Amino acid sequence: MLALWPTFMYAAEPLPAWNDGPAKSAIVSFVEAVTKEGSDDFVPAAERIAVFDNDGTLWSEQPAYFQILFAFDEFKRLAPQHPEWKNDPTLKALLEGDKKTFAASGENGLLKVVGVTHTGISTEQFQANARAWLASAKHPKTQKPYTEMVFQPMLELLAYLRANGFKTYIVSGGEVAFMRAFAEAVYRVPPEQVIGTTFVSQFHDNEGQPAILRTPKLAHNNDGPGKPESIDAIIGRRPVLAFGNSDGDLQMLQWTAAGKGKRFMGLVHHTDAAREFAYDHPSPIGQLDKALTQATANKWTVVDMSKEWRRVYPFDKE
């Protein structure tokens, strides 16, 4: 588990892994304004809702979304138990290492892999599988566990907000049970405050052993417009702060910005090829184009990772 060691330092130095710059200044100014009683910008604690994307915002997302890497590893692990997968041409191609045929299947092929590795089992079993993978798998570039590929500045921001009466939520396109397998230990965000893509689930009484069975049918795609829709349905309050990193977060940022009173909208801009990865547009992973244009036009906070973060990962040296 990762310890949020900077928490006790906030009284002296808020956000120590952030360089003194426009992003840190904007964050601190916003928090001070909305938490100062008697201020025109004061926001009651119950309304201090902060929402964060996960992939590319709280942890890295290159060379592929980590949940996709999990799905492929699970596919290899589970394949001996499922000879019937050879009856599907797309899955057969993946089993036989026919990369060309599998690549030609595009998104449909990827969804099939996710389907057979993420569903047909109980939520408890799926999360046990996810935790086992997270405990052993290593990132291909750093050879660190994926749960250490989190951004130290964002861990500090989550803790800083909570210390100032905010309730922090993860609102991500990632599958909700996968994120709940690690979010509380890594981010200190409890499962009920993790919102993501969901499959239709069914209660199953297995000879007196009740379980929630995950079916292959998609219930909600929590990306793009799906994010404000789920915020409205599950949280029931419009956020006063939202952080993302890609065009998939645009509608969440727009929904936050449209509320009354002082608001904070932030984007993590991946500009650091040396310590992390540099990408925005075009990119098959975490494309940042339309959201960056709107952020510039509307004067939202764009965090230049290479300039504004003193450290990127918890394991980085000062």
Averages of pLDDT over runs of 10 residues in the chain (318 residues) are 42 87 98 97 98 98 97 97 96 95 94 96 97 98 98 98 98 98 98 98 91 96 98 98 98 98 98 98 97 98 98 92
C-alpha distances in angstroms, 223 versus 143, 179, 214, 308?
29, 15, 20, 27
Question: pLDDT value at position 1?
Answer: 40
Q: Per the domain annotation, does 313 fall within a domain?
A: no
Does residue 284 lie in a domain region?
yes
Evaluate whether 313 touches 141 at the Cβ level (below 8 Å): no
Distance CA 71, CA 48 (A): 35
Q: What is the CATH number of the domain that holds 199?
A: 3.40.50.1000
Range of the domain at 78: 66-136
Q: Are 170 and 58 in contact (CB under 8 A)?
A: yes
What's the mean pLDDT when you consider all of the chain? 95
- Tally the residues of the chain: 318
Whether 207 and 296 share a structural domain: yes
Are 225 and 211 contained in the same domain? yes
> What is the pLDDT at residue 5?
40
- 40 and 20, same domain (yes or no): yes
Domain count, the chain: 2
Q: What is the pLDDT of residues 12-26, one digit of tens each?
A: 689 999 999 999 999
Within 10 Å of residue 161's Cβ, how many Cβ atoms? 22
Summarize pLDDT for 222-254 with one digit per residue, the tens.
Answer: 999 999 999 999 999 999 999 999 999 999 999
In a domain, 30, yes or no: yes
Q: What residues are paired with 265 via a beta bridge?
A: 242
Last residue of a domain, one of 106, 136, 166: 136
Q: Does residue 92 sit within a domain?
A: yes
Q: Which two tokens stand for residue 151?
A: 């951004």
Residue 208's pLDDT is 87
* pTM for the whole structure: 0.94
Q: Are residues 75 and 34 in the same domain?
A: no
Q: Count of alpha carbons within 13 Å of 300, Cβ hemisphere only?
A: 29
Residues 186 and 42 placed together within one structural domain of the fold? yes
Please answer whether residues 250 and 267 qualify as being in contact, where contact means their C-beta atoms are separated by less than 8 angstroms.
Answer: no
Interatomic CA distance for residues 72 and 176, integer angstroms: 18
- Do 96 and 49 lie in one domain? The reply is no
Tens of pLDDT, residues 139-160: 999 999 999 999 999 999 999 9
What is the per-residue pLDDT for 192?
98
